[in-house]
Amino acid sequence: MSLDPDAEDVLLAMRTLMPRPYHEVGIDEARRLSGSRQRRPGPPVNDVSDRVIPGPHGGIPIRVYRPGGERALPMLVWLHGGGWALGSVDNSDLTSRMIANEAGCVVVSVDYRLAPEHKFPVPFEDCLEAVRWVAGHGEEIGGDPTRLAVGGESAGANLAAAVALVDRERGELPISLQVLVYPATEYAVERPSWRRNSAGPVMTSRDVVWFWDLYLRDEADRSDPRATPSSATAFDRLPPAFVLTAEHDPLCDDGEAYARRLSAAGVDVRKKRYDGVFHGFFGMPGVLAKATEAVNDVVVALREVFDPAPVNASTPVGD
């Protein structure tokens, strides 16, 4: 299937800004270009505050979005994308605001440390500690610690899935849903979407490997489930998951294979592939129609687990 017309327009603008792939421009230029992109301002939220929480490697900046004056709202911990090496809470500000308002939940966006200055497991440990902090201190930010979801985009989805895996053994966190937006769960497995979208658009297969190698310390990390969740030996007893993928993305089959692993282990999984769009589309609601649809689907999925009601936002695995 071809790209959607609005995705073609966005892609043309992005190619003007960044005519060469990430792995060719290098980390410093990739960060500069990523930071220079204009982003749509998000809708106003009742209260948005930045704070720093303690972590194993020092303070962890977070941004808290609280949509109303009520207390004990459900909470979503959100982990931004960027290949573990790019991005910040600013990258997900628009979607965080939309989700907070529409789902009626406190969104806690985490500014975890980035590779290659901080390789695995540091970004993961920042995120795990942030989720633990939210579970233990939710009342301080107007949240209900018994209604907690975790999610992220790309590398952030990888981190969210890893947090859920680690907590399965410890049972400390009441995670009711994993929201995994085109998650990177395996190291460079050459599935059909990997080959079909090897040259992009937006992100190439070589870019994926480049980001992985910035994040991981050595070959042994490739089989550590905290780094590559698909390498876990078991997937049972994990929280329900909503897995979103993009058709024109090297990681499309990666995310869908992970959804099948979860489903085969008895986990309640919904998946949805968004045709006509590329890796990174989720952060473009209001510009891409599929992005607006995807954010709305996440809102519905969150509402279902926070205040159970029937939803039709996604397709059950296997359909």
| Residues marked as catalytic | 154, 249, 279
Dist CA 4 CA 17 (whole Å) = 20
Q: Which two tokens stand for residue 303?
A: 């509402």
Are the C-beta atoms of 144 and 135 separated by less than 8 Å?
no
Give whole-number Cα distances, 141 to 112, 180, 302, in Å.
19, 24, 19
Dist CA 1 CA 221 (whole Å) = 35
Across the beta sheet with 143-153, the strand order is: 47-53, 60-66, 106-110, 73-79, 143-153, 175-181, 241-248, 269-278, 315-316
Torsion on CA atoms 205, 227, 240, 156, rounded to nearest 10 = -60
Q: Please, which residues have CB within 8 angstroms of residue 135's CB and are 6 or more apart in sequence?
A: 145, 148, 172, 173, 174
Dist CA 159 CA 80 (whole Å) = 9
- Round to the nearest angstrom and report the end-to-end CA distance of the chain: 19
Q: Which residue, 89, 236, 222, 238, is CA-closest to 152?
A: 89
